Amino acid sequence: MTQPLTISQQARILKSALERGLIRPAELGLSPRGDSETLSEADLAARFQELLDAGRLQGVVDEAFGADTDATLAPGPPPLSRTPSGAYESVLLPEERALFPLPLDGRYLPLAFLGDGGMGAVYKAFDQQLKRIVALKFPKRLGQGQAERFLQEGRAQARIEHPNVCQIYSVDEHQGQPYLSMRFIAGPTLKEAIGRLSLEQQVHIVREVALALHACHRLGIIHRDVKPGNIMLEAQEDGAWRPCLMDFGVAQEQGEGAEALPGVLFGTPAYCSPEQAEGHLGGVDRRSDVYALGATLYTCLSGHPPFSPALPLPELVRQIVEEEPAPLGPPVPRDLARVVRKALEKDPARRYDSARALAEDLQRFLDGDPVLADGAGLGYRLVKCYRKNRALAWVAAVSLLAVVTFAAFGVAMAFRARAMSQAYQKYGREAEYLEDILNRSYTLPLHDVTEERARVQERLDQILASLGHLGRWTLPAARVALGRGYLALDRLEEARKELEAGAGRLPQDPDTALALGLTLSRLYQGELEGLRGQVLLDKKKDTEQDLRQPALACLRRARGARQDGPDYVEAVLALVEERYGDAIAKAQAYHRAAPWSYEAWLLEAEAHQALAALRLGEGRFEDAEVRLEEAGKALAQARNVARSAPLAYQGEVQRRLLTYQLRLDRGRATQADRDWALEAVDLCLQANPRDWKALGYRAAIHRRWGAHLLNRGQDPTASLDAAIAAAQEGLAWRPQDNPLWNNLGTCLRNRADWEASQGLDPRPTLARAVAALSRALDRPQFKDWLLDSIGCCHGQEAKYQLDHGQDPTEAARRAVACLTQASALKPWVGHDTTRGATLVDLALYQAMTGQDPAAAFAEARQAFRAGLHLNPRSYQAQAGLAQMLAERAEWALGAGRPPGGDLPEALDHLQAALALNPGLGATVFPALARCRALEALARPETRAASLRAAREALAQARPFAQEPGTALALAHAGWLLSRADPASGAAAQALATLRPALARRAWDAQVHLTQGRLLQALGRRPEAAAAFARAQALNPNLGRRGM
């Protein structure tokens, strides 16, 4: 470089180095917090020269001004440095470390400061719990209510499962400061890389971002700030670049040389759509993101945004709303320019309707096929001319609009309308024919309908194969016919895909709207099936935007679709709107008007079952049973009309399964109830032997009976093996169904529970469960449940290792990592409760082996409290937290330390658990006795009252003493009571209580340890020594802390 650099060039190089993390703000005399500061030209030049002489800027200078060697895209911030021991080392300056918003000795080790702008600070950090590099984002200047909005939107982005959307690992807050932990991407932004990407690379990148946007739009999430600076590029092994979309509706970055728009929460003006620039927040939807992505592609192709960000804000907004961007001329191909022009239309209705439509047109360009983007028609151009030059346009409008528009445009529209009408009629008849094949088959006596379903599927395959040869006006009708066929086969996901693709390009049609509305409503009801309480409310919230609201919109457009009466559509609407009484009344009116339709009876049954589920959640069991009986009557009528309809039998299976679960919950279920539920499954499989849903129900019935036997101490293996076989058969027909994989994993976990209770090694069965559950993790459906189940498997493995003298640390940490990831995807009390229980086991192992368990106990307490924050009425979380506090108090007393406030808090949580679930006596009363005995040992001043309360709790627990686990807990409490009051006779009584555990859990070292302690308290030292020896042989770790 022979010419000296100008101040402007030096500033540009320093800005680039700051964005890449090659230098720190402090090295320029700037605050890491990004406060408004300026440097004089002399200061800037001096600091630039110092950094250049030190070699800190050479790579950036070479790229900017043409080094002799081949330039490569900058990889982002410098690689991590490590200490000689292999640990990660922070490269933050002391003043930057002081500004890091989280504790420096906490979970995240800050490694580098990446940047600070309008959106807030971003750090590169090492997650010491999950052992991975992350990016941490801390927003700043959040007003009242905005912090919660930031957390909600971060959780929304965490639900997005797409390879081109930056993955959010967790959403959290510390002392009121919210933050995100997300995937760290070591690469440049598209803004930095534009100059060295080929045209094909640019189009490919924008296409992938469009598909990512479409995935997010389907979840109801609008980005509102798509621009080159929010698209990171990551190098792939084949040399290609994978784009990754950042800051989805969370950041308010003030980059790209512009200030925030008035009335707009997020957005960079140079890339804002007209409706966003004018502050019309109600008009900002997925098409606004399409505009921003079109502006991004325009920037890639031209080197600058469609409108200059250097303009004053009012003028920039005016140009965005009123002016057209400069045309993209050569060397940009004409078809690609047409795609950009369509994406940048002022009127949202004239843009691509979705990001997926934009991606499909870009793919056509890459494939060399004609694109679908059209130039503006003559009528549209005349209207725009009129709006811009109203006085002059009036003269031309009178003559030209009448002659040219109504002639040329009218002819084109007539041709389009005729082609669409013909296609719609043709494929509409095709769909009706396929539906008629199935409906006629369903009216025959009960038989296997596989052959008729195969005929329908064969014709659908033929239509699917023909799609590539259809014209643009006939394709939508064909896809709607496909969707209706899939709906008739109850293949709802495929039906939704085809109906949404076709319905968006057809005129508003009630029949198509009804088909899509029914598909979405059935998907919605399927998501809610079997859920109760808070879990049901959470699922409704999760599916509101993706399923319920679109279903309602379609059903409202479908009014009048059924010529045999409007009541059917109104009944479905009422069902989705949860007006169950109206749904029942409308369904009854419809089957009076159309007695040949079994669908009305199914609707009535669905409404009764939904009411039954509500009554169950309210604890009104008798009312729930009445509703289930009414549902049974309606389903019997449906089967009378359609004797081979799989949905009629599926509905009966669901009803019997709910009734069976109700009786299990109330302790009234018998084997006859199980067989009654299985009978409905057998009838369902007679109609359709490949019905994977029915096989899933069979697995659930057997699994719940197995769990019932397991809780009663009876052998559940036959039931669990039958459940496993049914789930595996269902997966053979539907391998992509995640709930069925979770069902299989739960069956295997229950079998492992039984094996562990018999002293057998459950780890091979647990390994099978983890393998099965892991096969479904690459799909987003029910991912949090799958991770929860895997975490439970690892927690069971840790418990087995704890009980058998092995080190459970690795298994426990695997469990905690899975459960933490599940909570990040979807907060739920169950994830936190299981995590807390696993951490208690880890703490007990540490105490047993002479380690300090304080940190593990504290982490367990935090997990239980997080669960109670989500659901204070969770009796499992209340009881789990009490158990943890009691364990910590007993450990503290054994170590000669005061237990602090653990025992009073534990007693409060035990009382709360019992109030929430009065049937919890077998767990709560022994725990109350234990806490009172520990209280007597810890506080001599209240010893008498504590001893009295302990004896009362023991007396309340004795009716449950035949269960081995309860017997062991009672014996342990009796031993503690004997220590507090040796003359009470508690040791002899506790030894007698222990007999069921000695008989049925001879493999359990804790049983023999407790026996030894009681014998020792009674002065029977030789017998005590033998019991201690047995305990240590079963669990060598017991001897490491002394008997």
pLDDT tens per residue, range 728-769: 999 999 999 998 999 999 999 999 999 998 989 999 999 999
Residues of the chain with pLDDT under 50: 1-3, 32-38, 65-86, 250-265, 375-385, 388, 393, 403-412, 415, 563-564, 1042
- The CA-based diameter of the chain, rounded to the nearest angstrom, is 117
d(CA 110, CA 135): 9
430 lies in a domain? Answer: yes
- Is residue 766 within 8 Å of 748, Cβ to Cβ? yes
Q: Is the dihedral of CA 341, 353, 227, 233 positive or negative?
A: negative
| Token representation of residue 633 | 């009557």
| Token representation of residue 636 | 């019997």
What does the pLDDT read at residue 744? 95
One domain for residues 440 and 550: no
What does the pLDDT read at residue 81? 42
Q: Per the annotation, does 15 bind a ligand?
A: no
What does the pLDDT read at residue 426? 80
- Domain extent, residue 145, equals 89-183
What does the pLDDT read at residue 1041? 54
- Is residue 295 within 8 Å of 306, Cβ to Cβ? yes
Instruction: Provide the 3-class DSSP secondary structure of residue 245.
Output: strand
- Is residue 102 within 8 Å of 122, Cβ to Cβ? no
122 lies in a domain? Answer: yes
| Token representation of residue 36 | 């408004």
One domain for residues 175 and 280: no
One domain for residues 417 and 459: yes
What does the pLDDT read at residue 163? 87
One domain for residues 296 and 253: yes
Tabulate helix, strand, coil % of the chain (nearest 5).
65, 5, 30
One domain for residues 36 and 118: no
101 lies in a domain? Answer: yes
914 lies in a domain? Answer: no
205 lies in a domain? Answer: yes
d(CA 51, CA 73): 21
Number of domains comprising the chain: 5
- Is residue 17 within 8 Å of 60, Cβ to Cβ? yes
One domain for residues 210 and 327: yes
Neighbours of 307 (CB within 10 A): 24
One domain for residues 410 and 333: no
Rg of the chain's alpha carbons, rounded to an integer? 34
Residue 325 belongs to domain with CATH number: 1.10.510.10
- Tens of pLDDT, residue by residue over 213-265, are 988 887 778 888 899 989 999 888 777 889 999 876 543 333 333 333 344 34
One domain for residues 142 and 170: yes
* φ and ψ of 481, to 5 deg: -60, -40
Last residue of a domain, one of 183, 205, 235: 183
- In which region does residue 370 sit, left (phi positive, over 0), alpha (psi from -120 to 50) or beta (all else)? beta
773 lies in a domain? Answer: no
Beta strands per DSSP E along 641-782? none
- Is residue 664 within 8 Å of 676, Cβ to Cβ? no
Instruction: Provide the 3-class DSSP secondary structure of residue 632.
Output: helix
One domain for residues 543 and 565: yes
Residue corresponding to tokens 């000795």: 105
- Is residue 504 within 8 Å of 353, Cβ to Cβ? yes
One domain for residues 396 and 469: yes
170 lies in a domain? Answer: yes
Query: Is the bond preceding 331 in cis, omega lying within 30 degrees of 0?
Result: yes
One domain for residues 366 and 411: no
What does the pLDDT read at residue 667? 79
What are the residue ranges of helices labelled H in 939-1020? 943-957, 964-980, 986-993, 995-1000, 1005-1017
What does the pLDDT read at residue 542? 83
- The Cα angle at residue 443 between residues 442 and 447, in degrees rounded to 5: 55
- Is residue 365 within 8 Å of 335, Cβ to Cβ? yes
What does the pLDDT read at residue 97? 80
What does the pLDDT read at residue 907? 97
What does the pLDDT read at residue 62? 52
- Is residue 926 within 8 Å of 973, Cβ to Cβ? yes
526 lies in a domain? Answer: yes
d(CA 855, CA 413): 73
What does the pLDDT read at residue 975? 96
d(CA 189, CA 989): 73
Residues marked active site are found at 225
| Token representation of residue 138 | 């801390």
Last residue of a domain, one of 152, 168, 183: 183
Instruction: Tell me the β-bridge partners of 171.
Output: 180
